[in-house]
Chains A and B, each alone.
Chain A
Amino acid sequence: MATEGQSEGLVFHPMDQFKIQPLFGDGPIHWYTPTNATLWMGIAILCIIGLFVIGTRGRATIPSRIQSIAELGYGFVHKMVEDVTGKEGLKFFPYVFTLFCFIVFSNFLGLIPGALTTTSHIAVTGILAMAVFLTVTIFGFIKNGAHFLELFWVKSAPLPLRPVLALIEVISYFVRPVSHSIRLAGNMMAGHAVIKVFAAFAPLILMSGIGIAVTPLSILAIVAMYALEILVAFIQAYVFTILTCVYLKDALHPSH
């Protein structure tokens, strides 16, 4: 594959880090088998419990450090939901906060070397995005009835344009879950794969003379990519959450 033209010893397996494997033994993966995905989701849950339950058990008016982080996260998402969807949207706050917490912890835990990034899997982000899509659609119809369809009928546009716009709006509405899920998974996958590719160049110094130049560069590149990934890990969680809020706003106030 990509090793062609390189020294014989270099091996590129940038996607191997995303493999789902059973935790115990080597058997087939049934739906109930505990896998490394289970492990890392479990660690994410433990982190969430640690931060939001154990961290706040003091209920201090003057917060400890962990408690102030928990409050910061709460305030951040709460303000986001309130700003975008308005006061009515606050009933979705626990739901949105669940998504945010799961994504942000999975993203950051995935940055630990050797960890599996659960959010880099289409299966995971697809379910998250479909859940948002179904919530928005079902809630939109329950709350607004047929008026929800006005979302696709752009009243501010001139009449002849409206059918065309409606078509575009419908398509974009159904593409939402696709882009919503692939954005998150793709971002997480891309950065990790690039880091892995750079990492594969690192042992070149053991094999050939050119490695003296390449190895430090690749290590530097890994560090730079890692810093970028830390940023991306948070921004993608933020973007996923705020897009969720934007879609929820459509369900709450469908008219443009």
Chain B
Amino acid sequence: MANTTTEAAGAVTEVAGHAAEAGGHAAQSAGMPQLNWETFPNQIFWLVVALVLIYLILSKVALPRIGGILADRQGAITNDIAAAEELKAKAVEAEKAYNQALIDAREEANKIVAEARAEIQKDLDKATAKADAEIAAKTAESAKRIEEIRAGAAKNVEEVARDAAAAIVDTMGVKADAKTVAGAVTARLKG
């Protein structure tokens, strides 16, 4: 096989050589190295060796390792994200609890305020009632006393009027019956 390819290549080289001669300067190794069949088995053999080596290196060592690294990283990222998610949930929870506590405290405060207000109101009402009662008692007493005073005053006026009338009648020289004078005065006062 090597012989025939060598011959063929030789022929090619010869032809090319003629052409190159005709062209003047001769590239001694005319022809494309790519088409030099002699080197094909060599290249193919070493290529196959190289490819097999690369395939074994990559598929046995490198690719599983890189895949593992990437998977690890993906896992780490997923875990971190999950942890962050959890922490965030916790924070939300804490905020909710805080808000709840705030609401509770406010309600408590409101309740206390309301209670205090109610108590004060009760005291106030009691005090007011007491004061009212006292005032009413005092008012009643005062009214009684005023009535008494008024009654006293009216009697005095009647006595004074009777005395004055008896004196006037006396002065006029008329002997007046005390009973008559008193009746007349009482009648006038009533009128």
A residues with CB within 8 A of B: 1, 3-4, 11-13, 15-16, 18-20, 28-35, 37-38, 41-42, 44-45, 48-49, 52-53, 56, 59-61, 63, 67, 70-71, 74-75, 93-95, 97-98, 101-102, 118, 120-124, 127-128, 131, 185, 189
Residue of B nearest to A105 (CB): B54
**Judging by beta carbons under 8 Å apart, are B43 and A98 in contact?**
no
**Judging by beta carbons under 8 Å apart, are A45 and B43 in contact?**
no
Per the bound structure, the CA–CA distance linking A102 and B58 in Å amounts to 11
**Judging by beta carbons under 8 Å apart, are B47 and A1 in contact?**
no
A-B contact count (CB 8 A): 148
**Judging by beta carbons under 8 Å apart, are B55 and A75 in contact?**
no
Chain A residues touching B, majority SS = helix
- Assuming the contacts A20-B39, A59-B69, asked whether A35 and B57 have C-beta atoms less than 8 A apart, the reply is no
Interface size class of B (residues with CB under 8 A): 35 or more
Give me 13 other A-B pairs in contact (C-beta within 8 A), A12-B27, A37-B43, A123-B34 excluded. A18-B33, A29-B42, A44-B50, A45-B53, A45-B57, A48-B58, A56-B62, A61-B72, A74-B70, A98-B58, A124-B44, A127-B48, A131-B51
B36 at the binding interface (Cβ < 8 Å):
yes
**Judging by beta carbons under 8 Å apart, are A42 and B76 in contact?**
no
Per the bound structure, the CA–CA distance linking A237 and B54 in Å amounts to 16
**Judging by beta carbons under 8 Å apart, are A19 and B54 in contact?**
no
Which residue of the partner chain, among B29, B58, B69, contacts A61 with CB atoms under 8 Å? B69
